Structure 1
Amino acid sequence: MPLKRSVNSLPLFDETLKEKSQIKIYEVTNDRRGIDEFINLPFVIYKRDKHFCPRLIRDQKRQFTPENPFYSHSKVRLYIAKQGNETIGRIASIINYNHLKYHNDKTGFFGFFESYEDHRISRELFKKVEEDLSNEGLDKMIGPMNFSTNAECGLLVDGFTEPPMIMMPYNLSYYESLLISSGLKKAKDLFAFLYILQDTLPEKVYRVSEIAKRRGARVRLINKKNLSSDMKAFQYVYNKAWSNNWCFVPIIDEELSESIKELKMIIKEDIVAIAFMGDEPVGFLGVISDFNQILKILMGRLNPLNIIRALINIKRINQGRLLLFGIIPEFRNKGIEALLFCEVHKGLLKHKIKKIEFSWILEDNLPTIKIAELFGGVLYKKYRIFQKELK
């Protein structure tokens, strides 16, 4: 039986292939052809999808090399599924030793999953990852993680009418059924709220921010000239604020340096702020312009024409993602959240940002959900992390 087509995708392979053609799984090593096949598959699957906006191909290739600091503490194996000469699926098995050390469990991960709409493909891919993780003595598989909760994670299960914002995943609607058919179940949902920016914030926010000031809190915007030290403050806050969160893994120095390289070109100083009590950084809030509006134009490739088009359109970016947000636990509910929002709100108006996505938020993180709702944010997307017990 030939593999099924999705209404959103192209034919899977040459229709002349015989029914008996088997699905085979191949590991991708450092050979250029294998990496190219792994990276190029989504460009085929999503060719007719208007929301597809891939990262630059050169950046995708780099993330699968030892230049990516994640590889310094993890084992990553990449696989592609083929039928005949056609690549029809892909997946990564991920063993994050920092996670194992921090949580003292036996959990492994999968990520970078892509497949045509056929359950046989996904079953073979997951079977391979399960073998990898089981052979390492692990007893649970969680994902998708690309590569961890410090990067892109989750499978979109609700909210397919809007394109993804920067550093958020995207997939076709049938992917959920592929995971379920492979024996995976829900582990946790991640929420994304959409906020239409207003000229003023709710009165309560201004009132509470004044209380924070009287308690000695202060806020300042970041400075690109001192971005490394400012991001160290973020690392300090993040690793304390998120330490008890589900599946949390601390950001290490090398990963922070990599993030600085990626964000330096797109971060705006007046929409990223740090909160202090005395000299201690205790909170961080940063909105990142939705560069996906440019990546959609580039479609993975930098060439002279694309660069010109990007330069013309970069000033037209009119939305952003609240990507960086955290308050050290002992300083929560003291108005610091409000103080940060008041400062960043001025910059958002200056840059004529119309929409902000609050993402992602764990489904059981009720305090942060309440903050999103206070601002008038509407839950408009859900992402799901899946899990499976390994035999």
Structure 2
Amino acid sequence: MTDAEIVITPVSDKAGRKAFVDLGRAFAHQVPNHVPQLRSEQLELVDPDRNPFFGHATVQLFIAYRHGKPVGRISAHIDHLALEIPPEQGMGPGTGMFGYYDAEDVEVSTALLARAEQWLREKGMRKVLGPISMSVWEEPGLLVRGEDHSPMIMMGHHPEVYKEWIQASGYVKAKSLLTYDLDVRPEFPPIVQRIVKSGERNDRIRVRSVDMKNLESEIAIVLRILNDAWSKNWGFIPFTPEEVAYAGKKLKQIIHPPINRIAELDGKPVAFMLTFPDVNDVLAKIDGKLFPFGWFHMLRWLHRPMGSGMRVPLMGVVKELHNSRLASQLAFMMISEIRENAMTEYGTERAEIGWILDDNQGMVAIADAINSKVNREYWIFEKPL
């Protein structure tokens, strides 16, 4: 096959977005250990009228055709908040992105990446990062390790060959994101237990559950801490007020107080840890379809996700406490309470922590201290334009 036989068409309307999502679903179905996601949720993520990401981003979706048949897709996008990030944090002026990358073969991949690069270059971008689909808070990175088991909630899953095809177009690794697998049944090591007990004796510290009666304000607290705690991290992009409101609405159904914690110091919230039951457990059973009977299983699971694995996608400690003993102590205290509650309330046996930047020494040390092991790795690639 030659590139000349491949036609790249921009997506410009609702019908095109549906075709874009359905094509991605068809590709995903072919990947071993894939878990089908809800189509309605996937459509919402690419809808500029529903996803607040579009409020600070310029996006173009593309579909590749060969002899009239769809054979690949890609997004090219510019997150205008990313342009304001200091270059030493991986983004900054002139940084565009690609995402939603799927291709039938290397020729299609080459054509899609070239088209995304052309669009970004025409918009004045000088560097491209990807895959990031589409916000860094949604599904960043390409899976390069861990294809042998299913992903947890809000984590991507990709064929092994995609890494080779992206590199064939001149991309190199910019950053590695790790997830850690934890068997929650054994007790934590003695040193961790001692740190937790010491914190429990400290009258200045209070670790509490999320208050569902005031969820909107609780989510605002969490995201305020997050924006502060992560502000110097590679790839950090702050949540906007619209995204805070959107996140609160979307997360309400999967936030369970026993497994979500906010830590206070002298009455002031200074740290948090969010834990989501793994909705992929039930999505795998219903094949990602709510109808005709999937909704029943989903509602029952949402009410009480018994036996589910748990994922800790986000945690943070305010910047003023970074590099202090107190920061790790608060983290261990929250992890300890969540572990105990996950087992007793939901029968959980395993959890996943991440993603974590591979050079985030503090979080890597915490993950190592509780005997968790790296089980998945994602790469974000970069290329000058």
Do they fold alike, i.e. is TM over 0.5?
yes
Q: Which residue of 2 aligns with 1:180?
A: 167
* 1:22 and 2:10 are equivalent in the alignment: no
- Is 1:347 matched with 2:347? no
Q: Which residue of 1 aligns with 2:157?
A: 170
Distance 2:376 2:21 in 1: 26
1:293 corresponds to which residue?
281
1:114 matched to 2:92: no
Partner secondary structure for residue 246 of structure 1: coil
CA displacement at 1:280 relative to structure 2: 2.1
Q: Flag the 1:198–1:48 CA change in 2: closer, same or farther, 3 A.
A: same
Cα deviation, 1:1-21, whole Å, max 9, x if unaligned, reads: 4xxxxxxxxxxxxxxxxx897
Which residue is equivalent to 2:46?
64
Instruction: Give 1:52 deviation, angstroms.
Output: 1.7
Aligned residue number for residue 89 of structure 2: none
- Does residue 123 of structure 2 align to residue 136 of structure 1? yes
- Tell me whether 1:35 sits opposite 2:29 in the alignment: no
Percentage of identical aligned residues: 30
Q: Is the 8 A contact 2:106 2:165 kept in 1?
A: yes
Q: How far off its partner does 1:222 sit?
A: 0.4
- Shift of residue 176, structure 1, vs aligned partner: 0.4
Q: 1:338 aligns with which of 319, 332, 336?
A: 332
1:98 aligns with 2:92: no
The alignment partner of 1:190 has SS state of: strand
Say if 1:133 and 1:369 are closer, same or farther in 2 by CA, change over 3 A.
same
- 1:316 offset after TM fit, Å? 4.3
TM-score, normalised to structure 2, is 0.91
d(CA) in 1 for partners of 2:258 and 2:199? 20
| 1:311/1:164 CA distance change after superposition, 3 Å | same
Q: Deviations over 1:70-101 (max 9, x none)?
A: 01111011000001221110000110011112
**Secondary structure at 1:165's aligned position in 2?**
coil
Closer, same or farther in 2 for the Cα pair 1:204/1:92, shift >3 Å? Answer: same
User: Of 111, 125, 132, which aligns to 1:145?
Assistant: 132
Q: Does 1:362 align with 2:357?
A: yes
When normalised by structure 1's length, the TM-score is: 0.90
Q: Which amino acid aligns with 1:378?
A: K
SS where residue 128 of structure 2 aligns? strand
1:126 to 92, 99, 113: 113
Q: Alignment partner for residue 209 of structure 1, among 153, 171, 196?
A: 196
The superposition leaves residues 136-180 of structure 1 with CA deviations (integer Å, 9 ceiling, x where unpaired) of 211100011112222211100011111000001111111101101
Amino acid at match of 1:47: H
Count residues in correspondence: 371
Q: Report the CA distance between 1:205 and its aligned residue.
A: 2.1
> Match of 2:144, SS?
strand
The answer to whether the 8 A contact 1:119-1:182 is kept is no
1:252 matched residue in structure 2? 240
Tell me if 1:382 matches 2:382: no
CA contact (8 A) 1:75 1:95 kept: yes
| 1:203-253 residue CA offsets vs partner (Å, 9 max, x unmatched) | 222321233342612111002221111111111110111000001001112
